[in-house]
A and B are shown apart, each in its own frame.
Chain A
Amino acid sequence: MSTATAEPASKVEIKAGSADAIQSFDITLKVRRYNPEVSDDAHWDEYKLTMYGTDRVLDALHRVKWEEDGSLSFRRSCAHGVCGSDAMRINGRNRLACKTLLKDLDTSKPITVEPIKGLPVEKDLIVDMEPFFQSYREVMPFLIAKGHEPAKERFQSQEDRERYDDTTKCILCAACTSSCPVFWTDGQYFGPAAIVNAHRFIFDSRDDAGDMRLEILNDKEGVWRCRTTFNCTEACPRGIQVTKAISEVKQAILQRTI
């Protein structure tokens, strides 16, 4: 019997020039640079790189930082789309650099990489996330339950869990909030991310502080500033239906008041 186990993908030898070979291509990476210690003005730097079909925008940034210009600054932690550190504006759209494959972009033109908009830039692609987290904290993103604490876990039916499943996926990368034109105006709007995380607890059957969160978001800077432009839904790297979640919070506030 020939039950030969397949080699793990990492050990498969790919011969250069064969049909399986990973394609390589030249790209121009155009990065928005800003260093307040040198100049108050931001400028664009261009880097010409040879990259491979398996490379992401983050790999291109690594290549620049490790081999061309060590002063380039950006955030990244896990590099696999989980930590939400490397949200940036890639070709004018908010994306995670670690989830955007170069081959999916138009490599015939320069690929632009900018910091996310609406938050103060600290250096190069790093922005101050504090205003973003301040709004997040204001909606109390933690379980508030009344009554006795159960000795075991707090039970929840599958249907009840399903109700807010979509909004549990948020990784707080700020791609949605910093893609919102209302947030760009004056930074006063709570922003989609804070509302999504409020939604996660408002519709959680185990939580008892939904009313408090609805009261917080029933504000002139709360859900009513949403103009349903869907920029947030388009930007979310986790595919959360952000605009839908905001509408559900609007509905909940209406039903509770009327």
Chain B
Amino acid sequence: MTAQIDAPRAKRIDPKYNRSRKSRNNFEMTAWLFMRLSGVVLIVLIFGHLISNLLVGQGVHAIDFGFVAGKWASPLWQVWDLTMLWLAMLHGTNGVRTIINDYAEKDRTRFWLKTVLYVATAFTLILGTLVIFTFDPCISETVAQALDQCRA
């Protein structure tokens, strides 16, 4: 009978270093690419948003219910704000997701933190999209009298 002798360093490695199975998809690559592309688009969108809201005309003093209602009457600003909402939320969520991956040490902590993050993101996205599409500027008599688009 021959004695079984393990290789000198076999089974000696701390299991925490053993990589969990390989991820067989391009998700991380897509996420990495999305961060770069959305970042570039967001620079344009956010600065356009800031300029139109804060610099043009009366600037910050013009912002009120009527101002927002007026902007959303135009399809351009509806699409602009919708794109900005989705890109910014996904960009930010992905950023926080990588931070959670980097700083949480246990998979369970990661799972719960990410669950909270995704629920919050989904809530904001759904609510925001709903508001942009179903926004009714003429919510009451007083507002209807003050706004041009309600008098028709």
Binding site for B on A (CB under 8 A): 120, 128, 130-131, 134, 181-182, 185-188, 216, 218-222, 224-225, 227, 250, 253-254, 257
Name 19 extra pairs, CB < 8 A, besides A130-B9, A224-B31, A225-B102: A120-B14, A128-B13, A130-B12, A130-B13, A131-B14, A134-B13, A181-B102, A182-B102, A188-B17, A188-B19, A188-B20, A219-B22, A220-B28, A222-B28, A224-B29, A250-B32, A253-B29, A254-B29, A257-B29
With A134-B13, A187-B16, A188-B20 as contacts: A218 and B29 at CB distance below 8 Å: yes
Does B58 have its Cβ within 8 Å of any Cβ on chain A?
Answer: no
Is A128 a contact partner of B31 (Cβ separation < 8 A)? no
With CB as the reference atom, state the residue of chain B lying closest to A188: B19
Contact partner of A221 (CB less than 8 A), chosen from B12, B19, B29, is B19
Does B134 have its Cβ within 8 Å of any Cβ on chain A?
Answer: no
Contact partner of A134 (CB less than 8 A), chosen from B17, B98, B105, is B17
State how many angstroms separate the Cβ of B76 from the closest Cβ of chain A: 31
Is A128 a contact partner of B14 (Cβ separation < 8 A)? yes
Number of interface residues of B (CB under 8 A): 22
Query: What's the A-B contact tally at a CB cutoff of 8 Å?
Result: 53
Interface of B, helix, strand, loop or mixed by DSSP: helix
A134 CA / B19 CA spacing, docked (Å): 10
A140 CA / B61 CA spacing, docked (Å): 63
A210 CA / B13 CA spacing, docked (Å): 28
Contact partner of A131 (CB less than 8 A), chosen from B13, B26, B105, is B13
Does B27 have its Cβ within 8 Å of any Cβ on chain A?
Answer: yes
Does B33 have its Cβ within 8 Å of any Cβ on chain A?
Answer: yes
- A-contact bits for B59-92, CB 8 A (1 contact / 0 none): 0000000000000000000000000000000000
Is A220 a contact partner of B23 (Cβ separation < 8 A)? yes
- A-contact bits for B1-38, CB 8 A (1 contact / 0 none): 00000000100111011011011001111011100000
State how many angstroms separate the Cβ of A225 from the closest Cβ of chain B: 8
A187 CA / B15 CA spacing, docked (Å): 10
Contact partner of B28 (CB less than 8 A), chosen from A185, A187, A219, is A219
A253 CA / B101 CA spacing, docked (Å): 22
Residues of B within 8 A of A250 (CB): 32
Residues of A within 8 A of B112 (CB): none
29 A-B Cβ contacts within 8 A?
A120-B14, A128-B14, A130-B13, A130-B17, A131-B13, A131-B17, A134-B17, A185-B102, A185-B103, A185-B105, A186-B16, A186-B105, A187-B16, A187-B17, A188-B19, A216-B22, A218-B29, A219-B22, A220-B27, A222-B28, A225-B28, A225-B101, A227-B98, A227-B102, A250-B32, A253-B29, A254-B29, A254-B33, A257-B29
